[in-house]
Structure 1
């Protein structure tokens, strides 16, 4: 018997995916998923379109979880700082403090994207910064994948991955940092907005520096509700360590594909969240409602 299939980490074109929000819903339905969470970076702009897609095309029992992925600054537990990502679910997007911070983050991301594009154009790359920015959805924060796709379309690189490896990744020549939300503040803001938070891919060493188990324990003490265990960038050793940590700290274990459409070679639904984990997360939320 096939179990319930839930993907709690999906991106659309409202941030750095290639599917529209409606397209992401259709992809989830085509993949046979029973639920998905739309978690675009620092925006809830795609919620209404995704909800309408569920109403127009959804099958009985399919559920949409409104969410977002928030970029945050955290201690790495080793004396330094690192960017971490919080998956925030079922919060009230009109919460004043949260809305103000999301607007700031979107402006930060868009400004950074434009500056990176201008630097590349000045160095002779076939990039048009004005066209790049004009092509973003109005409420999209934009991000490096948009610039990476422009480089692919210009024939400069063969893939988004190559663009990051050669030019846009953390240690590449055109990378620029950004000012993220302190993670404790983000956890608190989401809770005050009636939502709940899950730490995304915390042991994904392929992405760069990670946090220690002690940092996750501290975040749990500050209201973090769950931890993403089953993720494409976690090997089995990382998954096992996180399962043990989640059990020890009482954190909800989740899983998600981190689907980005054609920007990544990872299919939607490739990782799953247990049904009981979704139920536990829903118990905490009063800010928004699940759809379906």
Structure 2
């Protein structure tokens, strides 16, 4: 596999909190020149068979994917899994348990919004959910934009859905160790998603990478839609420091919401080992 590949190994469909179907995403990725694709819905592998079939239909190599929410240092961190068996019992069951707390959390978010005069937000958010088990802050944000409470989704998050705001409710996710083990046991590779987003102190970030590596994690997203060019350089250095392979993904959710479209990211720096080199036998 070539190092300078237009791989997009992080995006979301209607199966979690994206707005496009796996089939439309595959066509969009192919049209944008993607040479290797993965659908990575949140805590869910229910779209994998559709994504693989769609990728095959347009002649695009595919890696299975998911994005698992874990709690680390009292905040939510995302671990992408790539190249696993999407029907592995341990992984499927682990993801089912992780999804279990989302509905209860969503009801609490709705209650918080009601206290500031935004009524029936849960019912409104459900209109944007392809899979009710995966209701999230993004679905609430779409509802609040559509009903004119805010002008765009970033404004919703700033005013209502981040820590200390009326609609924010923390969720205890899986442990880091569990997520890495589910992915690894299913034959895949665990990757830390968009590490710059977490705002960890240097000590907390070092602890995250150290523990991740200890549990068998093998990769980190270096080029991603939420990383600046300076952050990409920083995490390229982190990948080398910890001996991790480098991944690349847009984190695309929607044509109208996402900063970066599928297939439009800069290429990985050449000194890094791309995750797809280590997953060559898992590409379908």
TM-score (norm 2): 0.87
How far off its partner does 1:150 sit?
0.7
Cα pair distance change 1:254/1:55, threshold 3 Å: closer
Question: What does residue 53 of structure 1 align with?
Answer: 54
RMSD (CA atoms)? 2.4
What is the rounded CA distance, in whole Å, between the counterparts of 2:95 and 2:29 in structure 1? 26
| 8 A Cα contact 1:257 1:272, kept in partner | no
Q: How does 1:88-99 map to 2 (within 5 A)?
A: 88-99=81-92
Is residue 69 of structure 1 aligned with residue 62 of structure 2?
A: no
246-255 vs 232-241, which moves further? 232-241
What is the rounded CA distance, in whole Å, between the counterparts of 1:241 and 1:134 in structure 2? 40
Cα pair distance change 1:248/1:30, threshold 3 Å: same
Q: How does 1:167-246 map to 2 (within 5 A)?
A: 167-204=160-197, 208-209=199-200, 211-246=204-239
In the alignment, structure 2 segments of 5+ residues that lack a partner are: none
Q: Of residues 117, 141, 144 in structure 2, which corresponds to 1:148?
A: 141
Q: How does 1:100-179 map to 2 (within 5 A)?
A: 100-121=93-114, 123-130=116-123, 132-133=125-126, 136-138=129-131, 140-179=133-172
Question: What does residue 45 of structure 2 align with?
Answer: 44
Question: What does residue 13 of structure 1 align with?
Answer: 14
| 8 A Cα contact 1:45 1:140, kept in partner | no
In the alignment, structure 1 segments of 5+ residues that lack a partner are: 76-80
| 8 A Cα contact 2:126 2:139, kept in partner | no
184-193 vs 113-122, which moves further? 113-122
How far off its partner does 1:5 sit?
0.8
| 3-state DSSP of counterpart to 2:265 | coil
| 8 A Cα contact 1:229 1:242, kept in partner | yes
Question: What does residue 30 of structure 2 align with?
Answer: 29
| 3-state DSSP of counterpart to 1:119 | helix
What is the rounded CA distance, in whole Å, between the counterparts of 1:6 and 1:136 in structure 2? 28
Q: Of residues 273, 276, 279 in structure 2, which corresponds to 1:279?
A: 276
Cα pair distance change 1:282/1:42, threshold 3 Å: same
| 8 A Cα contact 1:229 1:243, kept in partner | yes
| Higher RCO (CA < 8 A, seq sep 6+) | 1
What is the rounded CA distance, in whole Å, between the counterparts of 1:117 and 1:273 in structure 2? 41
